[in-house]
Amino acid sequence: MVLTLIIFMFAGLTGAGIAAVTMQRSRDMRRQRVMAVITGHAPDKPVQAASANIGTKTSASGADIARKLRKAAREQNAINNTKSIPSLLLQSGIYISPLRFWVTSSILASIFTGVVTQALHLSPVIDALLSFTAYFGAPRFFLRFRAARRQKAFLNDFSDALDAMIRLLKAGMPVTEAISMVAREFTGPMGEEMGRIYDGQKVGIPLPEAARKMIPRMPLPEVQMFATAIAIQVQTGSSLSEVLSNLSGVIRARYRLKRKVQALSAEAKASAAIIGCLPLVVSLGLYGVNPDYISLLFTHSTGKMLLAGAIIWMSFGILAMRQMINFKV
């Protein structure tokens, strides 16, 4: 019994180490791809072509533009590495104080844990884990989910908004009025963020600074590119419509590539979901057909240890499959 427990502990630690290395490697590769896209050295041809066009269309020197993009990339990484509650509240569009958010989350978590504890009569260990998840894990998960959904809605309208700005600029409208028109015509996060840029420059904030203030609320490489394009245009006096046209082409190419990756990985994601749910479905089926047969996993000490080992290894397997099919463009 002791030897089996030691084997399970060693296997669990080994699996945790492998999962941690895999996740860290995935984050490093993702960071390198974002840096490559921002600095214009990405291997995909649309990004290279757009970066080359931007460099030839503007009057700024290549070294100056590269320096600005590297600075923007460092700021982007600093923002992406910030996962505090105030930054998540800002990104999710919930404009309340962190104290009020924690008070509201604590009240909801207390109600939830009280109802579940009274209804299911779980063990003290499970109650403690459930309370910890409800108080600390669920609020962050909610903010991350809401921020990701808001960023997705913003990206869906970003290329169309840039095209609208390009048409207005070619018609002779100033940059600020083009931003104001986009803020009025688009709804959701796009209209809200463009309206903030227009309101900021209207009260005296320089346009590049107003555009850069959008980055903490929307930490996306595309937004970083847009702010950099605005800064270059203001400093060099180049044609902003041509720069935004190239940027719109890059965003549309990235969007098409994302859709293609989603279509190609749909089968793998479905297989991973089926494999992950199959043990739970089979266990529930066996419990419905013959409860005494499977109840040994919950009543006997060896069964509990085997069940814990199975859950640990299934969790590692699910995390590994998620990292393998979670492609980032």
Indicate whether 57 pLDDT > 50: no
Indicate whether 74 pLDDT > 70: no
Looking at the chain, the whole-number percentage of residues with pLDDT higher than 90 is 1
pLDDT for residue 220: 84
Cα dist. 211→46, 75, 143, 199 in Å? 24, 14, 24, 11
Q: Identify the H or E element spanning 52.
A: helix 45-57
Residue 76: which of 38, 110, 131 has the closest Cα? 38
User: Per-residue pLDDT tens for 145-158?
Assistant: 999 899 888 988 88
Number of separate helices (H) and strands (E) present in the chain: 17, 0
Residue 94's SS3 state is coil
pLDDT for residue 36: 53
Please give the angle made by the CA atoms of 200, 215 and 190, to the nearest 5 degrees. Answer: 70
The DSSP code for 97 is -
Cα dist. 263→51, 120, 154, 268, 322 in Å? 27, 41, 21, 10, 16
Please give the angle made by the CA atoms of 213, 201 and 175, to the nearest 5 degrees. Answer: 100
- Using a 10 angstrom Cβ sphere, with 0-12 exposed, 13-18 middle and 19 or more buried, the burial of residue 286 is middle
User: Which of the four pLDDT bands, split at 50, 70 and 90, describes residue 86?
Assistant: confident
CA atoms within 13 A on the CB side of 110: 6
What's the rounded Cα separation, in Å, for the pair 11 and 179? 57
In this structure, are residues 276 and 321 in contact, taking their beta carbons and an 8 Å threshold? yes
pLDDT for residue 31: 56
More confident residue, 2 or 294: 294
Q: Which of 23-37, 125-139, 200-214 has the highest mean pLDDT?
A: 200-214
Q: Which of 4-18, 67-81, 127-141, 143-157 has the highest mean pLDDT?
A: 143-157
CA atoms within 13 A on the CB side of 93: 17
pLDDT for residue 61: 44
Residue 174's SS3 state is coil
The residue behind tokens 């279509």 is 263
| Rg (the chain; Cα; Å) | 25
Indicate whether 129 pLDDT > 70: yes
Q: What's the first-to-final CA gap in the chain, in angstroms?
A: 48
Q: Which residues, 6 or more positions from 214, have their beta carbon under 8 angstroms from its beta carbon? A: 193, 196, 197, 223, 227
pLDDT for residue 9: 52
What's the rounded Cα separation, in Å, for the pair 165 and 180? 10
